[in-house]
Amino acid sequence: MDDMPIILEDFLNYIETIKGKSQNTVKEYFYDLRTFFRFLKIRYRIVDKNTPLNTINIDDVDISLLRKVNLQDLHAYISYVDKNRNNSNYAKARKVASLKSFFKYLHTKVKLIDENPATELESPKTDSRHPVYLTLNEAKNLLNAVDGQFKERDYAIITLFLNCGLRLSELVSIDIDKIKGDTLTVIGKGNKERTIYLNEACLEAINNYLKVRPKEGLKDEKALFISKRKNRISNKTVQYIVKKYIKLAGLDTDKYSTHKLRHTAATLMYKYGNVDIRALQQILGHSTVSTTQIYTHLDDDRLRKAVKSNPLSYIKDR
């Protein structure tokens, strides 16, 4: 994250070290605010309006420029990313959150601006979307597709995704010493620690992998999952592995991803395990139950049975 003015660097340090935001979240804030700063320089005619956005340097952005920002500038920015960068409502909502957090910091924490221009900035409405997930048979087919030189490692990765509902960042960060008996400790969003309970399939997959896991020349001895080059496996490599087996299983690689495996785990637990919504919230590491509730709308069979169980369902017109 080069090309960064001090005022932005200070803010990102604050949200990471004081607010406990994850590195991924900090990067998202950086990208959102970098785009905003570049847009500002075009809007305020600091650079030529035809300058390609990605080439605009932002290291000269300072508090004197940010003090000029008003609500109309923020609306113009959201309009810009909507029309010129084809941002979805979800992407625009994230940018609004980044702006509100940044200007709140400038106004209330470090008191560098007298008024907060983002106070009245509204977030675009985001439609409630049902999560995309694999059926039980598709999940089985995905597991059966795993093969090759790193079969044990890859099978353990897919098994943990499908059984535990881990996030990608949580899976790659697993340390061997965080596995104790049938429990696994992971660091989730916001650097929050939570305990994952491992079922028999997970324990067997991990144990089979540990028998063949490299032991010599490791660059990170604590890492559970090791790459071909003896490093801790990266997000990108795991995404590649998952896509490879999704394709081998005859599934749509555009539709399914590592995060969809997390959705699959949650859906299967809710559908087949009679898991209480609060328990599912804890398993997935959601900060609010409202995030977990998307999984309560999935089971059409349950809905059908619920309607059919109404005692009036048997009363018909004479």
- Domain of 50, CATH number, reads 1.10.150
pLDDT tens profile 4-21: 999 999 999 999 999 888
In contact, 157 and 167? CB cutoff 8 Å: no
- Asked if residue 167 and residue 101 are part of one domain, the reply reads no
Domain count, the chain: 2
- Asked if residue 184 and residue 57 are part of one domain, the reply reads no
pLDDT at 3: 73
Could you tell me if residue 117 is inside a domain? no
- Asked if residue 153 and residue 32 are part of one domain, the reply reads no
235 exposed, middle or buried (CB, 10 Å; 0-12, 13-18, 19+)? middle
Catalytic residues: 167, 189, 259, 262, 286, 295
pLDDT at 164: 85
Residue for token pair 């309560």:
296
For residue 224, the SS3 value is: coil
Residue 271 in this model has a pLDDT that exceeds 90? no
Q: What are phi and psi of 166, to 5 degrees?
A: -70, 150
pTM for this prediction: 0.64
Q: Using N-to-C axis directions, what is the helix angle for 200-212 and 151-164, rounded to 10°?
A: 160
Whole-number Cα distances in Å, 159 to 59, 76, 139, 246? 45, 46, 10, 13
Residue 187 tokens read as 């660091």
- Asked if residue 202 and residue 80 are part of one domain, the reply reads no
Residue 208 tokens read as 């089979």
In contact, 103 and 116? CB cutoff 8 Å: yes
- Asked if residue 54 and residue 176 are part of one domain, the reply reads no
pLDDT tens profile 71-130: 999 999 999 999 999 988 889 999 999 999 999 999 999 999 999 999 999 988 765 566
- Asked if residue 66 and residue 176 are part of one domain, the reply reads no
- What is the domain extent for residue 223? 136-304
- Asked if residue 146 and residue 239 are part of one domain, the reply reads yes
Could you tell me if residue 127 is inside a domain? no
Q: Using N-to-C axis directions, what is the helix angle for 71-83 and 23-43, rounded to 10°?
A: 100
